[in-house]
Amino acid sequence: TTKIILDTDPGIDDAMAILFAEAHPAIELVGITTVFGNATIADGTRNALWLKETFAMQADVAKGAAAPLVRPPVGPTTVVHGAHGFGDVEAGEPSLSADPRPAWQYIVEQLKAAPGEITLVTIGPLTNLALALEKAPEIVSLVKQVVVMGGAFGVNGHRGNVTPYAEANIHDDPEAADRVFTADWPLVIIGLDVTQQSMFSGAYLDALRDEAGVPGRFIWDVSRFYLRFYSDRIGMDGCHVHDPSAIAYVINPALFTLRRGPVRVITSGPAIGHTLQKFDERRHPHDDWARFRAQDVGVAVDANALLALYRRTLIDW
Ligand code: BDR
Ligand code: CA
């Protein structure tokens, strides 16, 4: 099994990803670290603790950053995820409390306690990871792998969702993302290029509700608000499979085709939050990209296999 710490801004598709990770036998969900993003840090952390309680999860929950490193906060994405992150579902006040440590410290201490064993999976803004790197740079050699849901590289015309040129997680904290992407650790980025190739249709979610017990029912309930957003704004009957795709990568990397090269993030101006990868061999006269480690970016996915994997995992849980 792969031990993971899941860094998240819960979030409707975050909830779908958390349950996927908890349900799959190949993953041991050691910890959940929260970050601002879809909701405030208070709401997101409450949502995470409520999931832990409701689904009797063993994972620690540690509360993370409330705001980005440098840029002014963008604010919660209430039009997509509702007033408190879970759409029409209001998570009650959980009786559990969070780990006393801030997320960055929790991450650093877990990596030091189990060198080479833990995969960090991020499905929110990258602030906690950037802080962990700043406080303890040696973690680059302690992590097994970093898997990031974020960014959009224009592979199939997908360049952004919150702006024409930026994906939400990266747009929320571009400096943090640039630090995480240029750090000397093994990293895989699952961006809109692949997550927008898979869709949970209305019918798919109805079937999950009918076949996957209590978690299936919850996923259906929490996705109602999300599906209204998709149908009102994009005219789609269903939603893209963003955050669960990062978990699918951990379970079965063979579902994805990757492209290798250094990755940078635009940190200001009209394309703030845009992600770029240099993947050609050409040597440009003023090129300094070779200073940075080549990372893997997802460019294609077997969407049918991914949808089947998610469904099977929730039904068999
Ligand atoms: C990402 O942004 C958030 O709205 C989702 O939870 C996902 O992590 C998609 O751009
Ligand atoms: Ca998310």
The partner residues of 7 in beta bridges, in order of sequence, read 33, 122
* Helices marked H in the chain: 12-23, 41-54, 78-81, 103-113, 127-135, 168-172, 174-182, 192-195, 202-211, 213-229, 243-251, 303-316
Note if 242 is an active site residue.
yes
Task: Round to whole Å and give the CA distance between 21 and 27.
Answer: 6
How is residue 99 annotated by DSSP? Answer: B
101-116 pLDDT per residue, tens: 999 999 999 999 999 9
Question: Candidates 123, 193, 247, 275: which one to mutate for ligand 1, based on the most atoms within 8 Å of Cβ?
Answer: 123
Evaluate whether 126 touches 176 at the Cβ level (below 8 Å).
yes
Torsion sign across C-alpha atoms 99, 103, 107, 113 = negative
State the pLDDT at residue 297. Answer: 98
pTM: 0.98
State the pLDDT at residue 61. Answer: 98
Task: Round to whole Å and give the CA distance between 56 and 23.
Answer: 11
Closest ligand 1 atom number to CA of residue 77: 4
Alpha carbon nearest to ligand 1 atom 10, residue: 168
State the pLDDT at residue 157. Answer: 85
CA of 47 to the centre of ligand 2 (A): 12
Which tokens sit at 204?
A: 């798919």
DSSP letters, 139-175, are GGGT-SEEEEE-----TTS---SSBTTB-HHHHH-HH
Looking up tokens 């927008």, which residue turns up? 196
pLDDT higher than threshold 90 for residue 15? yes
Q: What 3-state DSSP class applies to 134?
A: helix
Question: Candidates 8, 38, 80: which one to mutate for ligand 1, based on the most atoms within 8 Å of Cβ?
Answer: 38
Q: Does the Cβ of 14 fall within 6 Å of ligand 1?
A: yes
Evaluate whether 64 touches 37 at the Cβ level (below 8 Å).
no
Q: Does the Cβ of 13 fall within 6 Å of ligand 1?
A: yes
Closest ligand 1 atom number to CA of residue 9: 6
State the pLDDT at residue 12. Answer: 98
Mean pLDDT for the chain? 97
Closest ligand 1 atom number to CA of residue 38: 4
The alpha carbon of 215 is separated from its chain's Cα centroid by a whole number of angstroms, namely 20
How far lies 35's CA from each of 106, 151, 172, 216, in Å? 13, 17, 11, 25
pLDDT higher than threshold 90 for residue 156? no
Q: Does the Cβ of 119 fall within 6 Å of ligand 1?
A: no
Q: Does the Cβ of 11 fall within 6 Å of ligand 1?
A: yes
State the pLDDT at residue 131. Answer: 99
Res. 158 pLDDT band, cuts 50 70 90: confident
β-pair type (199-201, 238-240)? antiparallel
CA of 206 to the centre of ligand 2 (A): 22
Closest ligand 1 atom number to CA of residue 14: 6
Please give the single-letter amino acid code of residue 254. Answer: A
Which tokens sit at 169?
A: 């997680």
State the pLDDT at residue 242. Answer: 98
206-256 pLDDT per residue, tens: 999 999 999 999 999 999 999 999 999 989 999 999 999 999 999 999 999
State the pLDDT at residue 96. Answer: 96
CA of 232 to the centre of ligand 1 (A): 18
Q: Does the Cβ of 38 fall within 6 Å of ligand 1?
A: yes
Which tokens sit at 118?
A: 């833990």
The partner residues of 298 in beta bridges, in order of sequence, read 258
How far lies 10's CA from each of 54, 92, 177, 232, 283, in Å? 15, 14, 19, 22, 42
DSSP letters, 20-36, are HHHH-TTEEEEEEEE-S
